[in-house]
Chain A
């Protein structure tokens, strides 16, 4: 089976400094992959690079087997990748409905997909706040809106950076339940977060990133069997 998204020796640069040192990665359709690592290891850069937001990327990036290393962000999005950035990137001067509607795109196969009603069903809170401006929302509501906005593009893969950072435990739980629901819908996700325990609860695979390289990859069960790995790469 062809991977949905695959990279070979992916390198990314900010100016002269190299952040990613040859990432080999493959995400299967519908697969949930967790990406963990300490701060400054290049997780955000990897996500941004996959989205086409880092100007210089080298190596190979393939979407459904087609080479797209030179693609721009809008091309990546239209191909079926959605991005939930750290800091969320909500449009504060647009209200909740506008934030969602402006991103709307039908499913590529023509079948009924995500729309305003389905997003409101997933996040009833957003329906209550539908006419509020983006800047009036709480952190948790913003994160719901960002995920909802990503779903409105009817993606095959969602990249989620810092899924629950800065959110209260109750709100974080709601976000985890949402990501599990997205998984049920057959959408692949690549999720970055610090909460390895919660990630292990629903991810198919966990990747550990150190200094711009992926140093370990395996199932949550395999990671639990080797606590030393976690200690070495994530412990403080």
Chain B
């Protein structure tokens, strides 16, 4: 493998990892702070992509699809928290798995009625079309580079909010010890709703930016959900920084696994997960249970 090919694969791996991070960061926060296992998280990734397809087809603008899709997902997330998820706080995991699995089936049905079951494609914005010629035979799509950059900016924004705002402090503290946060007079009622809605919006955002690369299809959320759980467990539940490391690890493993060990490509991610968990049972940045 020459250097250019390696660079291209590296870019692919990073881009994949960053998209995965957008999905997994919401999942880890909802799991860590709200204490809820949301199996329907991947369904919102899929719905985000379909909404973007619909908005892009209706308006002809990728940007309206992007902003509109995220806004719709945020509002739907607020409503979902209020109507369904709120009832799961403090319940055992079985109740959470049952309800969120039911949500997958319902959201899939909603998708079938609204958008049908066809595979669609979404065109990237005009100025991001085309490729950069790297060598005589290799080129790299501009849109993929833009996705990298955009996801990186969103990731930095997430970290900035967590690091420097009061709500970020509450979210970090809540991931560690929810009870203690409440005993300091901070109610989780509003925080929970925003965390859930932002998580859903991030999943949808990931689905939207990926739509021009991967096409839009009914089962696209399922694989994403499983890999996101791998990322959450790898990084340590509730740790957004851990999710970033985990997502990049999965992106690199998956991409280079396919290049170097094609025969093992379907298990390489899980193999790496098993090894890391042997080394750190609570995830890379997971805190030890007391």
Contact = CB atoms under 8 A, between A and B. Distances in A.
B1 interface: no
A91 B176 contact: yes
A89 B170 CA distance: 14
A93 interface: yes
A93 B183 contact: no
B183 A73 contact: yes
Given A78-B185, A102-B184, A73 B169 contact: no
B157 interface: no
B93 interface: no
Nearest to B90: A55
A91 B186 contact: no
Interface residues of A, number: 25
B177 A89 contact: yes
Given A94-B169, A94-B172, A77 B182 contact: yes
Contact of B185 (A91, A98, A153): A153
Interface in B163-200: 166, 169-170, 172-173, 175-177, 179-180, 182-188
A91 B180 contact: yes
A92 B290 contact: no
A153 B169 CA distance: 16
Interface string A83-105: 10101010111100011011101
A90 to B, nearest CB: 8
Given A89-B177, A102-B166, A51 B183 contact: yes
Contacts of A83: 180, 183
A91 B290 contact: no
Interface of A: 51, 53, 72-74, 76-78, 82-83, 85, 87, 89, 91-94, 98-99, 101-103, 105, 149, 153
Given A72-B187, A93-B173, A98-B169, 16 more contacts: A53-B183, A74-B187, A76-B183, A77-B185, A85-B183, A87-B290, A89-B177, A89-B180, A91-B180, A93-B175, A93-B176, A94-B169, A99-B173, A102-B166, A102-B170, A102-B173
